[in-house]
A and B are shown apart, each in its own frame.
Chain A
Amino acid sequence: MDTVIDAHNISKVYNPDTIPVHAVNNVHLHVERGEFTALVGPSGSGKTTLLNILGGLDHPTSGNVVINGTDITHLGSNKLIDFRLHNIGFVFQSFNLIPVLTARENVEFIMLLQNVPKKERDQRVVALLNEVGLSDKMDVRPAQLSGGQQQRVAVARALASKPQFILADEPTANLDSASAFNLLDIMAKLNREENMTFIFSTHDQRVIERARRVITLVDGSIASDTAQTKTD
């Protein structure tokens, strides 16, 4: 198997000098390419903090995160930004598309940052938006899209940079059932057909049922890490 994430002894303590809050506590995590993994747990269990650390958006208080052979824990700010650009795709709970750009431009934007040639960009944008079923909404701005459609654009955007893996923080939390199922189908298909690694935090039982691996966090620590045979 091909290791994508190797996190050792990760801890994150907020307010260490006043009232310490242990958001993540000595977490060891090993993720292989092609996993479809759910991080579950009650609110405040440290799911988002752990995702942020794995995504290089936050630094752990101790421990280290190795992604595809690179220890990102001690990378400088600019190097970390560059690392994220080329290695990690993000899907946020509230979609977070750039409101002034169309669906096409939102997806293309990442590739522009990567200096991908125009012809390649154009082809990939069309392919990705087709893949998420939004070929008819390419020139529409986020405000004119439904929540589900926006989240599908966000998935296409996350895929645009050809990342090592995609981190999705509560991707279905703001979606109705139909949109949530639709999004999960797309993510599962990408995982199955393109071997794209997905790690998502969720409360949503529908999402948990689709995951092949479920990691349960309680008070910042891994309470259980189970493989599920029943997938999509």
Chain B
Amino acid sequence: MITTIAWRNIWRNKTRSIVIMTSVALGLWAGAFIAALYWGMGQERMRIAIENEIAHLQVHAPDFTLEFTNIPAIANVNELTAQITAMQGVKAVSARTIAMGMLATATGSAGIQINGIEPNAEAATSQLKSKLKEGTYFETKKTNTVLVGAKLAKKLKLKLNSKVVLTFQDKEDNLVSAAFRVEGIYQSYNTALDERNVYVPITTLNNLLGLQHEAHEVAVLLQSDDLTPSVKAALAAQNPALKVQDWKEISPETGLILSTMGQASMVFVVIILLALAFGIINTMLMAVLERTREIGVLMALGMNKLKLFAMILTETFMLVMVGCPFGLLLAWAVIQLLARKGIDLTAIAGQTMQDFGFSNVIYPGLPASQYLQIVILVVITAVVSAFFPAIRALRLRPVEAIRG
């Protein structure tokens, strides 16, 4: 009967109830949409990090550090790449040689990271080839060709076929300089990386560094993100002398961004729900004050405080829960639509997003667990919002309430 009374009470003032239900629906939609936007940005950043920069796993020599100074090399790298390629769940493997150095032109210079890559293996592992904006991807017969980022090219006024001199230290710490021609200009989603990374054939760089059958890094792309822990464990077990790290270890800032974005979106959701809570409290308080006499009668007739509390709580809960599915449905529909179309922020954000390693197009998305999390927050909001009006009702004395 408490449920019946609560439900019918909601519809006594239809307009007011519909307004609060709509607020709940819109609040939920807004909360879910913001969470989806953040989640989408985080996922996009993760995808960029995995597919363009790091891959799922990287293998280094045991004393490798992220400082990139005196990078130790892995011996017999061809055997290692063959072994990894044969592992289950591995999609592509690419050996890389890395040298920190200087790129100089007739007009200027810049500090850079020189990446020696196997063109075909790298094309399968990262999206470098697909990010080529101008020129070709190591297709000329020349060995001293280089791919530079669009940002660096703009900064140093580089064009296709421009001559650049790369200077770095070889294996024996001797200073080595070599001239290269710009074969291609690429543009990834991360302009900061574009500005400081150049790519040359691994054989060319290894010759200059004095390395033979060696590489500094082996990047491993997996068929699925979920395989990362298992393949990492298997790889580490098979190669105890090497250091196997996943993308979160290589790029802790990406992991941090993901968790920070999750927290930030929840802060927004909580702020929205807090605003909603005040609306609910106001509505329910009005409902209680309007029904002072009726509540007094209920108490006079023998409805105890627990049941009265339950009635107000049920009423608030129902008020919120009627709006909840509409909000969720609306959020789901909008998120599904935009997850396919994407939200292009180029007009608003320009290059800013890419400067921080994000794509200009965001594809919102929200896993089921986050929908559930939002629903739980809404339920908590409803219950907490009901407390104040319910306590107000409990404080009524029947004799005074009936007197009005």
Contacts and interface: CB of A to CB of B under 8 A. Distances in A.
Q: Chain B's interface: helix, strand, loop or mixed, by majority? A: helix
A58 interface: yes
A84 B399 contact: no
Given A52-B399, A96-B293, A57 B1 contact: no
Interface string B361-404: 00000000000000000000000000000000000001100100
Interface string A100-129: 110001001110111000000000000000
B305 A57 contact: no
Looking at chain B, what size class is its interface with the partner chain? 20 to 34
Looking at chain A, what size class is its interface with the partner chain? 20 to 34
Contacts of B402: 57, 92, 96
Contacts of A98: 5, 294, 297-298
Interface of B: 1, 4-5, 8-9, 12, 293-294, 297-305, 307, 398-399, 402
A141 to B, nearest CB: 9
A77 B305 contact: yes
A46 to B, nearest CB: 14
Given A92-B402, A105-B1, A112-B1, A81 B302 contact: yes
Given A85-B304, A98-B298, A101-B1, 19 more contacts: A52-B399, A55-B300, A57-B398, A57-B399, A58-B399, A78-B304, A82-B304, A84-B300, A84-B302, A90-B301, A98-B294, A100-B5, A100-B9, A101-B8, A105-B4, A110-B301, A112-B1, A113-B301, A113-B307
Contact of B303 (A55, A92, A108, A113): A113
B297 A81 contact: no
Nearest to A57: B399
Interface string A147-180: 0000000000100010000000000000000000
Contacts of A81: 299, 302-305
Interface in A38-61: 52, 55, 57-58
Contacts of A114: 302
Nearest to B6: A100
Closest 9 CB pairs of A and B: A85-B302, A100-B8, A57-B399, A96-B297, A58-B399, A112-B1, A81-B304, A52-B399, A84-B302
A108 B307 CA distance: 16
A59 B195 CA distance: 84
A86 interface: yes
Interface of A: 52, 55, 57-58, 77-78, 81-82, 84-86, 90, 92, 96, 98-101, 105, 108-110, 112-114, 157, 161
A50 B399 CA distance: 12
Contact of A84 (B5, B9, B293, B301): B301
Nearest to A87: B302
B300 A57 contact: yes
B303 A101 contact: no
Contacts of A101: 1, 4-5, 8
Contacts of B12: 99-100
A204 B192 CA distance: 92
Contact of B294 (A57, A96, A105, A157): A96
Given A57-B398, A98-B297, A109 B304 contact: no
A81 B398 CA distance: 10
Contacts of B294: 96, 98-99
Nearest to B403: A48
The residue in B299, B305, B307, B399 that gathers the most chain A C-beta atoms within 10 A of its C-beta is: B399
The residue in B8, B12, B300, B307 that gathers the most chain A C-beta atoms within 10 A of its C-beta is: B300
Contacts of B297: 92, 96, 98
Nearest to B302: A85
